[in-house]
Chain A
Protein backbone atom coordinates (compact mmCIF):
# COMPACT_ATOMS: atom_id res chain seq x y z
CA UNK A 1 0.00 0.00 0.00
CA UNK A 2 1.32 3.42 -0.95
CA UNK A 3 1.47 5.92 1.90
CA UNK A 4 -0.74 8.40 0.06
CA UNK A 5 -3.39 7.36 -2.43
CA UNK A 6 -4.96 9.65 -5.01
CA UNK A 7 -7.54 8.97 -7.70
CA UNK A 8 -5.76 9.58 -11.04
CA UNK A 9 -8.88 10.79 -12.84
CA UNK A 10 -9.13 12.32 -15.33
CA UNK A 11 -11.82 14.52 -13.92
CA UNK A 12 -13.73 16.63 -16.44
CA UNK A 13 -16.06 19.42 -15.29
CA UNK A 14 -17.79 22.42 -16.90
CA UNK A 15 -16.52 25.91 -16.21
CA UNK A 16 -17.96 27.31 -12.98
CA UNK A 17 -18.36 23.92 -11.29
CA UNK A 18 -17.14 23.13 -7.80
CA UNK A 19 -14.33 20.61 -7.92
CA UNK A 20 -13.41 18.22 -5.14
CA UNK A 21 -10.04 16.49 -5.20
CA UNK A 22 -9.16 13.93 -2.57
CA UNK A 23 -6.34 11.89 -1.10
CA UNK A 24 -6.10 9.32 1.64
CA UNK A 25 -3.01 8.68 3.71
CA UNK A 26 -1.94 5.82 5.92
CA UNK A 27 0.18 7.20 8.76
CA UNK A 28 -1.64 9.08 11.49
CA UNK A 29 1.63 10.79 12.46
CA UNK A 30 1.51 12.92 9.31
CA UNK A 31 0.53 16.48 10.10
CA UNK A 32 1.82 18.74 7.36
CA UNK A 33 -0.01 18.48 4.04
CA UNK A 34 0.31 20.29 0.75
CA UNK A 35 -1.41 20.59 -2.60
CA UNK A 36 0.61 21.20 -5.73
CA UNK A 37 -0.59 22.09 -9.21
CA UNK A 38 1.36 20.88 -12.21
CA UNK A 39 0.78 22.05 -15.76
CA UNK A 40 1.89 19.83 -18.60
CA UNK A 41 5.69 19.61 -18.96
CA UNK A 42 6.24 21.99 -16.04
CA UNK A 43 7.44 21.51 -12.48
CA UNK A 44 4.85 21.33 -9.67
CA UNK A 45 3.98 24.62 -8.01
CA UNK A 46 2.85 24.90 -4.41
CA UNK A 47 -0.83 25.81 -4.19
CA UNK A 48 -1.66 25.45 -0.51
CA UNK A 49 -0.41 23.86 2.65
CA UNK A 50 -2.15 22.96 5.88
CA UNK A 51 -1.00 21.80 9.26
CA UNK A 52 -2.90 19.16 11.23
CA UNK A 53 -6.70 19.25 10.95
CA UNK A 54 -9.16 21.82 9.74
CA UNK A 55 -9.70 24.06 6.75
CA UNK A 56 -7.60 26.66 5.03
CA UNK A 57 -8.99 28.99 2.41
CA UNK A 58 -7.18 31.00 -0.27
CA UNK A 59 -9.39 32.68 -2.83
CA UNK A 60 -11.27 30.02 -4.78
CA UNK A 61 -9.29 27.21 -3.14
CA UNK A 62 -10.00 25.46 0.16
CA UNK A 63 -7.82 22.74 1.63
CA UNK A 64 -9.28 20.45 4.25
CA UNK A 65 -7.71 17.80 6.46
CA UNK A 66 -9.75 15.20 8.32
CA UNK A 67 -7.33 13.37 10.57
CA UNK A 68 -9.95 11.01 11.95
CA UNK A 69 -10.50 9.49 8.51
CA UNK A 70 -6.99 10.26 7.17
CA UNK A 71 -8.49 12.19 4.31
CA UNK A 72 -7.29 15.40 2.67
CA UNK A 73 -9.29 17.40 0.18
CA UNK A 74 -8.91 20.37 -2.12
CA UNK A 75 -12.02 22.25 -3.21
CA UNK A 76 -12.00 24.63 -6.15
CA UNK A 77 -14.95 27.01 -6.44
CA UNK A 78 -16.01 28.61 -9.72
CA UNK A 79 -13.53 26.49 -11.65
CA UNK A 80 -11.87 28.06 -14.69
CA UNK A 81 -10.30 26.53 -17.81
CA UNK A 82 -6.97 27.82 -16.47
CA UNK A 83 -7.39 25.42 -13.54
CA UNK A 84 -6.93 22.51 -15.96
CA UNK A 85 -3.83 20.75 -14.65
CA UNK A 86 -2.72 17.80 -12.56
CA UNK A 87 -3.17 18.26 -8.83
CA UNK A 88 -0.80 16.47 -6.48
CA UNK A 89 -1.35 15.99 -2.79
CA UNK A 90 1.75 15.73 -0.64
CA UNK A 91 2.88 15.49 2.93
CA UNK A 92 6.10 16.22 4.75
CA UNK A 93 7.48 13.59 7.12
CA UNK A 94 11.27 13.93 7.15
CA UNK A 95 11.01 14.31 3.40
CA UNK A 96 8.20 15.11 0.99
CA UNK A 97 5.97 12.35 -0.36
CA UNK A 98 3.56 12.78 -3.27
CA UNK A 99 0.41 11.16 -4.53
CA UNK A 100 0.20 10.10 -8.16
CA UNK A 101 -1.87 13.18 -9.09
CA UNK A 102 -5.40 13.80 -10.36
CA UNK A 103 -5.73 15.25 -13.83
CA UNK A 104 -8.43 17.94 -14.00
CA UNK A 105 -9.97 19.32 -17.17
CA UNK A 106 -12.28 22.33 -16.92
CA UNK A 107 -14.28 22.74 -20.11
CA UNK A 108 -15.24 26.26 -21.25
Chain B
Protein backbone atom coordinates (compact mmCIF):
# COMPACT_ATOMS: atom_id res chain seq x y z
CA UNK B 1 0.00 0.00 0.00
CA UNK B 2 1.49 3.36 -0.99
CA UNK B 3 -0.97 5.64 0.81
CA UNK B 4 -0.17 8.55 3.10
CA UNK B 5 1.74 7.42 6.17
CA UNK B 6 1.87 9.26 9.50
CA UNK B 7 3.98 8.68 12.59
CA UNK B 8 3.54 8.36 15.46
CA UNK B 9 -0.11 7.40 15.50
CA UNK B 10 -0.55 8.52 19.09
CA UNK B 11 1.60 10.78 21.25
CA UNK B 12 1.00 11.54 24.91
CA UNK B 13 3.09 14.36 26.32
CA UNK B 14 3.22 16.72 29.25
CA UNK B 15 2.44 20.37 28.87
CA UNK B 16 5.49 22.36 27.86
CA UNK B 17 7.20 19.56 25.96
CA UNK B 18 7.95 19.63 22.23
CA UNK B 19 6.48 17.07 19.84
CA UNK B 20 7.17 16.28 16.20
CA UNK B 21 4.96 14.43 13.73
CA UNK B 22 6.09 12.99 10.43
CA UNK B 23 4.13 12.52 7.23
CA UNK B 24 5.14 10.54 4.14
CA UNK B 25 2.82 11.46 1.26
CA UNK B 26 1.91 9.42 -1.79
CA UNK B 27 5.10 9.49 -3.81
CA UNK B 28 3.88 11.22 -6.97
CA UNK B 29 1.91 13.89 -5.11
CA UNK B 30 3.44 17.35 -5.14
CA UNK B 31 1.07 18.94 -2.63
CA UNK B 32 1.07 18.15 1.06
CA UNK B 33 -1.36 19.49 3.64
CA UNK B 34 -1.60 19.52 7.41
CA UNK B 35 -4.98 19.71 9.12
CA UNK B 36 -6.08 19.61 12.73
CA UNK B 37 -9.29 17.94 13.83
CA UNK B 38 -11.00 18.03 17.21
CA UNK B 39 -13.93 15.93 18.34
CA UNK B 40 -17.13 16.70 16.47
CA UNK B 41 -15.45 19.04 14.02
CA UNK B 42 -14.24 18.75 10.47
CA UNK B 43 -10.57 19.05 9.59
CA UNK B 44 -9.21 22.61 9.97
CA UNK B 45 -6.54 23.75 7.55
CA UNK B 46 -3.14 24.49 9.08
CA UNK B 47 -0.66 24.74 6.21
CA UNK B 48 0.26 23.31 2.84
CA UNK B 49 3.29 22.78 0.64
CA UNK B 50 3.76 22.59 -3.07
CA UNK B 51 6.92 20.54 -3.42
CA UNK B 52 9.28 22.04 -0.80
CA UNK B 53 7.67 25.49 -0.74
CA UNK B 54 5.28 26.30 2.10
CA UNK B 55 2.61 28.27 0.25
CA UNK B 56 0.17 29.13 3.00
CA UNK B 57 -0.19 29.03 6.77
CA UNK B 58 -3.44 29.43 8.63
CA UNK B 59 -3.82 32.15 11.21
CA UNK B 60 -4.65 29.27 13.55
CA UNK B 61 -0.99 28.29 13.41
CA UNK B 62 0.75 30.05 16.26
CA UNK B 63 4.50 30.66 16.41
CA UNK B 64 4.83 27.45 18.40
CA UNK B 65 3.96 25.45 15.28
CA UNK B 66 6.40 24.91 12.46
CA UNK B 67 6.23 22.67 9.43
CA UNK B 68 8.87 21.69 6.94
CA UNK B 69 9.06 19.65 3.80
CA UNK B 70 12.72 19.32 2.88
CA UNK B 71 13.35 18.21 -0.70
CA UNK B 72 9.64 18.07 -1.37
CA UNK B 73 9.23 14.59 0.03
CA UNK B 74 8.21 13.84 3.64
CA UNK B 75 7.06 16.60 5.98
CA UNK B 76 7.35 17.26 9.70
CA UNK B 77 5.08 19.26 11.95
CA UNK B 78 6.65 20.40 15.21
CA UNK B 79 4.78 21.85 18.14
CA UNK B 80 6.90 23.59 20.74
CA UNK B 81 5.90 24.15 24.37
CA UNK B 82 2.72 22.16 23.99
CA UNK B 83 -0.47 23.33 25.68
CA UNK B 84 -3.55 21.33 26.59
CA UNK B 85 -5.46 23.10 23.81
CA UNK B 86 -3.12 21.48 21.30
CA UNK B 87 -4.71 18.10 22.02
CA UNK B 88 -6.24 17.02 18.72
CA UNK B 89 -5.83 14.72 15.74
CA UNK B 90 -3.23 16.05 13.30
CA UNK B 91 -4.00 14.90 9.80
CA UNK B 92 -1.65 14.90 6.85
CA UNK B 93 -2.97 14.71 3.30
CA UNK B 94 -1.51 14.85 -0.17
CA UNK B 95 -2.72 15.57 -3.67
CA UNK B 96 -1.43 15.93 -7.18
CA UNK B 97 -1.88 19.50 -8.32
CA UNK B 98 -3.69 19.41 -11.65
CA UNK B 99 -4.71 23.02 -11.70
CA UNK B 100 -6.48 25.63 -9.72
CA UNK B 101 -9.40 23.83 -8.15
CA UNK B 102 -9.08 20.21 -9.02
CA UNK B 103 -7.38 17.21 -7.57
CA UNK B 104 -8.39 14.74 -4.93
CA UNK B 105 -7.05 14.86 -1.41
CA UNK B 106 -5.88 11.68 0.27
CA UNK B 107 -5.46 11.51 4.03
CA UNK B 108 -3.29 9.51 6.34
CA UNK B 109 -4.63 7.87 9.47
CA UNK B 110 -3.66 10.85 11.60
CA UNK B 111 -1.46 11.45 14.62
CA UNK B 112 -3.41 11.88 17.82
CA UNK B 113 -1.85 14.24 20.36
CA UNK B 114 -2.81 14.21 24.01
CA UNK B 115 -1.28 16.93 26.18
CA UNK B 116 -1.55 16.27 29.91
Contacts and interface: CB of A to CB of B under 8 A. Distances in A.
Contacts, number: 63
Chain B interface residue bracket vs A: 20 to 34
Interface in A1-32: 6, 8, 30-32
Interface stretch (B12-20, B37-45, B70-78, B79-87): B37-45
Interface string A90-105: 1011111111110000
Nearest to A43: B107
Contact of B101 (A31, A88, A98, A100): A31
Given A92-B102, A93-B101, A95-B56, A44 B40 contact: no
Contacts of A90: 42, 105
Given A43-B110, A95-B56, A8 B104 contact: no
